[in-house]
Chains A and B, each alone.
Chain A
Amino acid sequence: MSVRRLAKEQPASFAFSKDSQAKADWWKAKYPAERKQSAVIPMLWLAQKQEGWISEPAIQEIAKQLEMPVIRVLEVATFYVMFQLQPVGKVAFVQLCGTTPCQLRGALDLRKVLEDKIGPAHHVSADGKFSWEEVECLGACCNAPMAAINDYYYEDLTPESLAKILDDFAAGKAPKPGSYEGRGASEPKGAIHTLTDPKLYDGSYAKKIKIPNLPEKPKKAPKSEPAA
């Protein structure tokens, strides 16, 4: 996890586009008027969707719209690691999982590919199209190693397939997300070796069981009121 500070170079201003402003207004309307600062995370998210990252003017604008102290917005923006505080690649922003399962399955090799093709982490490539960072577990360990590129998961990657994906992005194509090993989802690779007994699925193993800790059925109410 990187040190989370605002980027040194900031744009002069920020404004929500008409579309994002409409969405922001929807979020604001969702909460009571005096609690509208509850919309801070969705609003930061909208700003990030629009610009790719969260700039200082964006923080100011959100604080203004939500009538909350600007330091509170800064606290939230610097706390959550999914908020990007520096510019990211315009075409593809790669978030490579580097946690243990992915690392065991070859994430370090993928990192080399990214370093070769894009450059050091947290730096936008010279053409402004690419950037990457290493993140903690994204919860797709069955398909390790994987990376999230923009909004989608690219799974079962090899250095070759990742390089191909990046090349496709560079060529203006939209590579298909999902497994690059031909798996549909996270099912076992190749043939199924376990849970093959058909009896498991015909209902013959099912037994009536007593669920523990269920609330007891109310007993019949006493006829006379108990003495106080």
Chain B
Amino acid sequence: MAIAKVNGVEVEFEPGMTVLQVAELAGEEIPRFCYHERLSIAGNCRMCLVEVKPGPPKPQASCALPAAEGQEIFTKTPMVKKAREGVMEFLLINHPLDCPICDQGGECDLQDQAVGYGRDDSRYEENKRAVEEKSMGPLIKTVMTRCIQCTRCVRFITEVAGSPEIGLISRGEDVEITTYLGAAVTSELSANVIDLCPVGALTSKPYAFEARPWELKKTESVDVMDALGSSIRVDARSAAVLRVLPRINDEVNEEWISDKTRYAVDGLGRQRLDRPYVRVGGKLKPATWAEAFAAIAAKVKSTAPERVGVIAGDLQDAESLKATKDLFTALGVKNLDSRQDGSALGAGPREGWLFNSTIAGVENADVVLFVGANPRLEAPVLNARFRKQWIAGKTRFGVIGEQADLTFDYDYLGAGAKTLSGLAKSKNDFVAALKAAERPAIIIGQGALARADGAAILKAAAGLAKSMKVVREGWNGWNVLHTAAARVAGLDMGFVPAEGGLSTADMLKPGALDVLFLLGADECETAASDAFKIYLGTHGDNGAHKADVILPGAAYTEKNGLYVNMEGRVQMGRRAVFPKGEAKEDWSILRALSEVLGHKLPYDSLDQLRAKLFADHPTFGQIDYAPGSVATVFDVGALGVDGEVSDAPFESPVKAFHLTNPIARASVTMAECAAVASGAAKIAAE
């Protein structure tokens, strides 16, 4: 540890830190625009000027200056004050005075820092320059006259998102940030540039002129659009969720979120089920809660438990899963499944279906093999971590499955199960690297597991993991990449068919069941089943269209709930707004229904339900904890079942990134993004 002085106070710092970082260690605020912790250093805004001794007798850009032993840093001298005022004045020469009509107003770095570090009067007499508007797709609104050329967006898109599509063209006074000829940005992480933009040049297009930041009620919650469980902040005004922003969580999403997480929320106001419905004479008719419950009770009571099935959806909180499981288990039902896609996971120890390296820990892997996973589409924020590893040159990647653009280079090994089973014996260069690796990781996706031969593929992958010693002392590289936010919670509480029970695919066969209860299950095709269908959910999507009784539930922003992400981290989602219309929180609907069905659930409040959940399944009690298992008792080779393996190539379950769940499918913004994405695909194919 080296020591430097900041404004006369000694500070210890790690060698390699910059002067700006050392000053922050000492608690000094350094204004900045271009510098960002997670991007490369550009040093072009000059706002972070400080005085440094020993050094030249002029202000230094602290973001790009390495701190040195014995250095004296001054952040409050007259020279620094004057330098900051000067820089701010230059930045404002061409910045329009349109704060009253700018969406960044109130959360604008330039506004704040102009107040904090700028001059108190204006000396501008000349005209300001004007810059043409740019097109950057359906998410990013541009007012490029406001741009101060910090190039954060260029660096983010190039370095983190890995789709270098934004650039700074021309020079001098004419420089402009633009995409190539106004093309839409195609990255799944593109909208993070809106957060990064320190001014109002890049703002949110769907949120344009919707609200001022001080009007919004901010609720810290968890995202359900993928199985990563990104930390988000839900901004709502009265009953409407207006936007979602990322929260910093280095363990999960760093400070990025995917475009779907950010923009699918306009789907929360569309296609909503806001009252119960009962199908009468082939048509869904609005009904009261009592009528809906009566219709269910009449049907369920007259049906044998073997002819009743339950399928849980991908966006459910743990409490509703628990209440559903308790209710139907009490009724004697064995046909329970939380795996709509028919994934082969769910048997054996918990480590078998977790992302055991943990999301932050996977950065330590030195060789990574993807099996039937496309992380770019299935968990874009996680993919940014892989790209970060790749840029650092620490990690080698291999892929069995789709040969997609993952934003990093990899060894393509093959398309399907045949490659997987033959891999251990192959003389491939990558296999040699995997064998020799200190911390090898296998990341298996639902593209490999959610098929008829999933259990056999799981067996093959587990066998490979065992032979490559992917699980070893101090390291567990067995990682399952999930796509559903509710999946790990469902598996953790054993929301799978009991002994002799039917799985999703069997339940949906014609004539298999008489009553089918769908808990927000919209991703499975229920048309073939001739059962009486009860749908509890939020949107008029696949599940509701074919339902005989619809019970309106609460979306993830409308209820307090626990979610378990793919690494087994239990996170708490919080209510930002109330459920729509007559809709209720899911667990309370189930509690009320249980009384009608004559098997009253033993809890009257969410707290009691959680207490029962924690008692039955202790892992749920460890909030914000990811086990990151290095369990020595976990035998990875025991996973899966021997069986016939088909040679069909692995296909990612995420075909259209923007349309993977009912909320996203109801979203106008996501529909636009999907249209742009498929259009881009068409042009590329030509």
Contact = CB atoms under 8 A, between A and B. Distances in A.
A and B form one complex? yes
Interface of A: 1, 3-6, 56, 69-72, 74-75, 78-79, 81
A1 B164 contact: no
Interface in B411-425: none
21 contacts: A1-B171, A1-B174, A4-B169, A4-B171, A5-B170, A56-B181, A69-B158, A69-B164, A69-B180, A71-B164, A71-B165, A71-B166, A71-B179, A72-B164, A74-B167, A75-B169, A78-B170, A79-B169, A79-B170, A79-B171, A81-B171
B571 to A, nearest CB: 36
Chain B CB within 10 A, most for which of A56, A70, A75, A81: A75
Given A71-B180, A75-B168, 16 more contacts: A1-B174, A3-B170, A4-B169, A69-B158, A69-B165, A69-B180, A71-B169, A71-B178, A71-B179, A72-B167, A74-B180, A75-B167, A75-B169, A78-B169, A79-B170, A79-B171
A108 B167 CA distance: 37
B100 interface: no
Contacts of A72: 164, 167
A69 B179 CA distance: 11
A5 B164 CA distance: 20
B172 interface: yes
A6 B167 CA distance: 15
Contacts of A78: 169-171
A36 to B, nearest CB: 15
Contacts of A75: 167-169
A3 B174 contact: yes
Contacts of A74: 167, 169, 180
Interface residues of B, number: 15
Nearest to B163: A69
What are the 3 tightest A-B residue pairs by CB atom distance, in nearest-first order? Answer: A71-B167, A69-B164, A78-B169
A70 B180 contact: yes
Interface string B136-180: 000000000000000000000010000011111111101000111
Nearest to B172: A1
Contacts of B158: 69
Interface string B175-198: 000111100000000000000000
Contacts of B165: 69, 71
A173 B374 CA distance: 64
A1 B165 CA distance: 26
Contacts of B179: 71
Contacts of A56: 181
Contacts, number: 41
A78 B167 CA distance: 11
Given A70-B180, A71-B179, A74-B180, A4 B167 contact: no
A72 B168 CA distance: 9
A115 to B, nearest CB: 24
Contacts of B167: 69, 71-72, 74-75
A75 B176 CA distance: 10
A70 to B, nearest CB: 5
A4 B180 contact: no
Interface in B580-600: none
A100 B383 CA distance: 55
Nearest to A80: B171
Interface in B51-92: none
Nearest to B132: A5
B171 to A, nearest CB: 5
A72 B164 CA distance: 8
A4 B174 contact: yes
A186 B579 CA distance: 85
A40 to B, nearest CB: 13
A69 B407 CA distance: 12
Contacts of B166: 71
A5 B179 CA distance: 13
A153 B349 CA distance: 80
B352 to A, nearest CB: 40
Nearest to A71: B167
Contacts of B171: 1, 4, 78-79, 81
B310 to A, nearest CB: 49
B326 to A, nearest CB: 54
B45 to A, nearest CB: 19
Contacts of A69: 158, 164-165, 167, 180
Contacts of A71: 164-167, 169, 178-180
A71 B170 CA distance: 12
A4 B164 contact: no
Nearest to A63: B180
A129 to B, nearest CB: 29
B97 to A, nearest CB: 24
Contacts of B180: 69-71, 74
Nearest to A56: B181
Contacts of A79: 169-171
A29 B635 CA distance: 51
Interface string B488-503: 0000000000000000
Nearest to B167: A71
A92 to B, nearest CB: 27
A5 to B, nearest CB: 7
A71 B167 CA distance: 6
A70 B163 CA distance: 11
Interface string B376-391: 0000000000000000
A69 B154 CA distance: 12
A74 B181 CA distance: 10
A32 to B, nearest CB: 15
Contacts of A3: 170, 174
B98 to A, nearest CB: 23
Contacts of A81: 171
Contacts of A5: 170
Nearest to A68: B164
A130 B180 CA distance: 31
Chain B CB within 10 A, most for which of A1, A71, A75, A79: A71
A216 to B, nearest CB: 24
Contacts of A6: 181
A3 B171 CA distance: 9
A67 to B, nearest CB: 12
